[in-house]
Structure 1
Amino acid sequence: MTLTKNDLELLSEKGISESKVNEQIETFKEGIPFVQLEKAVTVGDGILQFDAEQEKQLIERFDETQEGMTLLKFVPASGAASRMFRALFNFLDAYDPSEESLNDYFERTGDTDMKTFSEGLTDFPFYRIVQSRISGNASSKDEEVYLFVKEMMSEDALNYGFYPKGLLPFHNYGDHTATPFEEHLKEAAVYAKNDDTAKLHFTISEQHGKMFNQEFSNIKERVSAAVKASFDVSYSYQKPSTDTIAVDMKNEPFRNEDGSVLFRPGGHGALIENLNEQNADIVFIKNIDNVTVPRFANTVVDNKKVLAGVLLKVQKKAFEYAELLNKGDLNSNQLEEIKSFVQDELNARFSEKLTSYSIEQQIDVLRDKVNRPIRICGMVKNEGEPGGGPFWINDRKGNISLQIIESAQIDMDDPEQANILKNATHFNPVDLVCGIKNYRGEKYDLMKFVDAKQGFITGKTKEGRDLKALELPGLWNGAMAYWNTIFVEVPLQTFSPVKTVNDLLKPAHQVQ
């Protein structure tokens, strides 16, 4: 591939090396192989399930052990709300209240999303905000719905489609509406508090920085008084150096009309670099749109503490064994004990050749397996929600491991693979508690535990031309592929994301 002087200047500006671009071009040429599913993870075979007494003990372990630890809540929050409002944008393009009634429009188009939206209008958290701006302007109920949507979505009005999802009104408390940003603050104050300060880090789009700062300034006194905690809030942006080159259908760099090479954001997998810059003993990870109203809050908080309790319990053993392995003088009984722990509790698998290795070689293998970041991942029973799921996979070297896999990574033309996916019992709600330090208290370099071959190649168009785009391995997928992974079944009530605007009508988002 030949790069021009302007190309090299662009690479320098983004902080991307020429070798990195060449690697990405090769990835396009070679393609990314499908993941080989071994079997779905189930309760008793990769997913832990606890009864009420066990949960109580795990919560107590966290409450008693976390004293003196640094806790952090890490919230990916860069997503804009445009996809959430897709049905509303389509409605504005397709409906004219002067030409037809709403009922005729619904019959003509079969637009069930807008029918649900119009019928639930008064239950949306932003109803009073929007209504106060259009009051008296409509001559009919149908026109009111149209003007309501127009006021929400127009660039010269509320422009909700431009907003980061984290700053939209999600919950109506009567005297104020709360954004997901605010709900994450309140939640963190219960389980991610160091002394009297809850520490949170949000990954956001640079263009939204001022908006988040303004929101925090507006609400922090009220929220601090309500939860009796102060907040240490920080932000970071997806790095330009994680952008990936786009190619045409011949795997040559895709060039814009001005001749410049097109780079695209690398997807949420790029955030492993942002996570790698954080320094805490326990990191809670949760998506920005997965919040709930107070009556479900105790379930959410208890669940987070259960996951953290599992982390602390397993980590204590892992640290003890890591220290033993570091000394290197182990007898065969100790080796067998550590092997059992690694296999039964850390869910790591060994090569069949392990028993033929010398004691020193076995210690090296165990040292490598134990000295890794640990993630405890909540998994919800599969009830038809979209999202990745937990699977045992067989990698290209014949190693079996626990992974969170997206459907796009699976060869759906392979009946056996498709059947494993179809029969999966659980899915990933993005509910993680992570230990990112070793037994000496030193932070791991998380970039060393990424499987670069678990990215995604997708088809896109720009300026009417086809292109191929490369997404980096997802944050909780390939970016954490070589972590020690433990899955725990969690209640469905802990998963209440807002993917479309009508999700705000669900009980999890209705205060009253």
Structure 2
Amino acid sequence: MFNAEDLVFIEERGSDLSTVKEQVKNFEKGFPFMEIIQAATVGKGIIQLNEEHANQFIDFLNHKLEHGISLLKFVPASGAASRMFKDLFSAKSKLESGETEAKVLQEKSVNYFFDNLKKFAFYTEFEKLASQPVEQLSALEVLDLVLTEKGLNYGSLPKGLLTFHQYSDDCRTAFEEHCAEGAQYAKDKAGQVKIHFTVSPEHQDAFEAHLKAIRSKYEQAFEVQYDIQFSQQKPSTDTLAVDMNNQPFRNGDSSLLFRPGGHGALLENLNDLDADLIFIKNIDNVVPDYLKEDTTKYKKALAGLLLNYQKRIFSYQQILDERHYTALDSKFYAEASSFLENILNVKPPTSHYYSEKEELYHYLKEKFNRPIRVCGMVKNEGEPGGGPFWAKNRDGSVSLQVVESSQIDLQNKEQQSIVSQATHFNPVDLICGIKNYRGEKYNLLTYRDPQTGFISYKSKDGKELKAQELPGLWNGAMADWNTLFVEVPITTFNPVKTVNDLLRKEHQPD
């Protein structure tokens, strides 16, 4: 399957041969579906905070901050924003092929874009780049100025560098909004705000230049000091592509084709970081300042909730670590088992309830001694996103998982029925605790489920191929974490998936 040149190529990439061979096996056998048991709903896996509880958890966070815990905000910001402009690229192609403006503008999304062009925060900059009054530009000239290097070049830039919001005296990119937001809830006792962005290699210089241009403005405005770092998706996390016969796909020069392994590859980047609490949020989920209050409040409340639950987990970790199983009485085992099952929502395998004390000891020790995450869940109002479910794990236990629809056998009527009962979905709003009671970091790579990858069908040079994505960062990559789901307001979720989403009232000036 692999020749001598292949082996050298794999080694030079930093990839592991055994891992590459395993990827080929995954293509051959496919990935199993995840078995969901029931939808997580309020009171059945999703915690609903009232005002009093939210404030109590915020107070607990503030208390821990006074004792010097470290905070970090992690923002996946890799890749170009080209998918945001899919409809506009299609319109541009049609115009270039000779279709009339009248016909092209019949497309609803394209027409809406042109009708509201002046409402986009980037319009002022766009207008300056135009060689004549905007009203005199053809539709193709407008699209060229927005999408290509003739103007804003938004079709090639990453989302983080796009101008999202208009203020009375300024505009902000998504990157700037994350800096402003981070100052509200990710500031430590010393007034430092640490943010880590994952970026594509071709965009890092532009991000660094943008940071240099805006840093002092936001440090003065929010009276903070920023420690902003960047990293890139590691080439070693790329996955081998195969042809339709599951043989390694080869480029025109006979070399192997590796492709990016999806956002699950960023687990490696996350694993390199060090903080007591890590906030994770997508690059496009930001709002102007006048709408940040809910986001700030719930980020703090969820962080305090995590720390509160983690305090008890740490106590169990320490007892189980320092004492022999025979030295612990039945009361301890009953209490620890109840907390694991009823608070952390980890149900033991139905075929085995660990009645023997030694077995129960090792089971509890394993389940308590792992990372913890709190996931914000919003009521499902039709937006795409993974959903919260009770799901069966490989060891037979049942726990809370964020599950994408692609992981579920929707041909199975029982599974389909469970999906239909879901009330919430995950907007990628996570807070993570990645250390044990001693302050030692976990190796996050050991807590992912390798059987939760995904196979997709692509093409290159006119030839079909199969590509493989690693377990998703907040799905399979965190499958073996202790997990808590908490309902958060829909106001905390305002993603920008298409350019026209910037016209929603949540992204417009107050």
TM-score (norm 1): 0.96
What's 2:39 paired with?
Answer: 40
Distance 1:100 1:359 in 2: 77
CA deviation string 1:153-208 (max 9, x = no partner)? 12333211110110110011243221111111111112111211100111111111
Task: Classify 1:32/1:149 alpha carbon distance in 2 versus 1 (closer, same or farther; 3 Å).
Answer: same
Per-residue deviation at 1:132? 1.7
Q: Does 1:258 align with 2:256?
A: no
Letter in 2 for 1:136: Q
Contact (CA 8 Å) 2:148, 2:156: kept in 1 or not? no
The answer for the alignment partner of 2:87 in structure 1 is 87
Q: Which residue of structure 1 aligns with residue 104 of structure 2? A: 105
Q: Provide the rounded CA distance (Å) in 1 between the counterparts of 2:124 and 2:354.
A: 71
- Tell whether the 8 Å contact from 2:45 to 2:484 is kept in structure 1 after alignment: yes
Please give the alpha-carbon distance, in whole angstroms, between the structure 1 residues aligned to 2:72 and 2:353: 40
Checking the alignment, whether the CA contact within 8 Å between 1:294 and 1:511 is kept in structure 2 is: no
Report the equivalent of 2:446: 448
CA distance in 1, matches of 2:64, 2:35: 39
**In 2: Cα distance, 1:182 partner to 1:240 partner:** 28
In structure 1, what is the equivalent of residue 182 of structure 2? 188
Q: Is the 8 A contact 1:354 1:362 kept in 2?
A: no
Query: For residue 114 of structure 1, what is the aligned residue in structure 2?
Result: 110
Deviation at 1:359, TM superposition (A): 1.7
The structure-2 alpha-carbon separation of the partners of 1:355 and 1:83, relative to structure 1 and needing over 3 Å to count, comes to closer
Q: Residues 86-485 of structure 1 correspond to what in structure 2 (within 5 A)?
A: 86-95=86-95, 100-102=100-102, 104-107=103-106, 111-136=107-132, 143-194=137-188, 195-326=190-321, 327-328=323-324, 329-352=327-350, 355=353, 357-485=355-483
Distance 2:296 2:133 in 1: 44
User: For the residues of structure 2 that align with 1:387 and 1:352, how far apart are their CA atoms?
Assistant: 30
In the alignment, structure 2 segments of 5+ residues that lack a partner are: none
Name the amino acid aligned to 2:158: P
- Matching of residues 41-60 of structure 1 within 5 Å: 41-60=40-59
Q: What letter matches 1:82 in structure 2?
A: S
Contact 2:349 2:395 in 1 (8 A): no
8 Å CA contact 2:78–2:200 kept in 1: the answer is yes
Residue equivalent to 1:26: 25
CA contact (8 A) 2:349 2:398 kept: no
Distance in 2 (CA, whole Å) between partners of 1:396 and 1:359 is 23
Write the letter of the residue equivalent to 1:28: F
Kept in 2, the 8 Å contact 1:153–1:160? The answer is: yes
Shift of 1:54: 1.2
Any gaps of 5 or more consecutive residues in structure 1? none
| Deviates most, 170-179 or 393-402 | 393-402
Runs (4+) of structure 1 exceeding 6 A deviation are: 96-99
Hey, what's the Cα distance between the residues in 1 that align with 2:30 and 2:399?
22
2:81 and 2:159 in contact (8 A); partners too:
yes
Distance 1:323 1:504, change over 3 A: same
Q: TM-score, normalised by structure 2?
A: 0.96
Q: 1:75 is paired with a residue of what secondary structure?
A: strand
What count of residue pairs does the alignment treat as equivalent? 505
What CA distance in whole angstroms lies between the structure 1 residues aligned with 2:359 and 2:32?
31
Q: Does 1:66 align with 2:61?
A: no
Aligned partner of residue 35 in structure 1, secondary structure: coil
Counterpart contact for 1:374–1:483, Cα < 8 Å = yes
Instruction: In structure 1, give the amino acid aligned to 2:11.
Output: S
Report the Cα offset of residue 96 of structure 1.
Answer: 6.4
Contact kept in structure 2, 1:346 and 1:486, CA below 8 Å: yes
Give, in angstroms, the shift of residue 344 of structure 1: 1.4
1:127/1:315 CA distance change after superposition, 3 Å: same
Greater shift in the superposed pair: 483-492 or 112-121? 112-121
CA deviation after TM superposition for structure 1 residue 100, in Å: 3.7
- In structure 2, what is the Cα distance between the partners aligned to 1:96 and 1:246? 33
> What CA distance in whole angstroms lies between the structure 2 residues aligned with 1:391 and 1:145?
46
Report if the CA contact (8 A) 1:374-1:484 is conserved.
yes
- Residue identity opposite 1:91 in structure 2: A
Shift of 1:355: 4.6
Q: Secondary structure at the match of 2:410?
A: coil
Change (3 A) 1:323 1:75: same
SS of equivalent to 2:163: coil
Contact 1:380 1:492 in 2 (8 A): yes
Measured after TM superposition, the shift of residue 417 of structure 1 is 1.5
In the alignment, the residues of structure 2 paired with residue 257 and residue 239 of structure 1 have an alpha-carbon distance, to the nearest angstrom, of 24
Per-residue deviation, 1:399: 2.2
Q: CA deviation at 1:236?
A: 0.9
Q: Cα distance, 1:370 vs. partner? A: 0.7
Query: What is the distance in 2 between the residues matched to 1:149 and 1:433?
Result: 39
Over the aligned positions, Cα root-mean-square deviation in angstroms equals 1.6
Q: 1:352, CA displacement in angstroms?
A: 4.0
Secondary structure at the residue paired with 2:335? Answer: helix
Is the CA contact (8 Å cut-off) linking 1:131 and 1:148 kept in structure 2? no
Residue 105 of structure 1: how far off its partner (Å): 3.5
Secondary structure at the counterpart of residue 430 of structure 2 = strand
Deviation at 1:243, TM superposition (A): 0.6
Q: Which moved more, 1:331-340 or 1:59-68?
A: 59-68
Deviations 1:121-154 (A, max 9, x none): 111011111112215256x66x444322210112
Contact 1:373 1:437 in 2 (8 A): yes
Partner Cα distance (1:484, 1:356) in 2: 19
1:12 CA displacement? 1.2
1 CA distance for matches of 2:464 and 2:314?
A: 51
CA contact (8 A) 1:374 1:434 kept: yes
Distance (whole Å) between structure 1 residues aligned to residue 70 and residue 236 of structure 2: 29
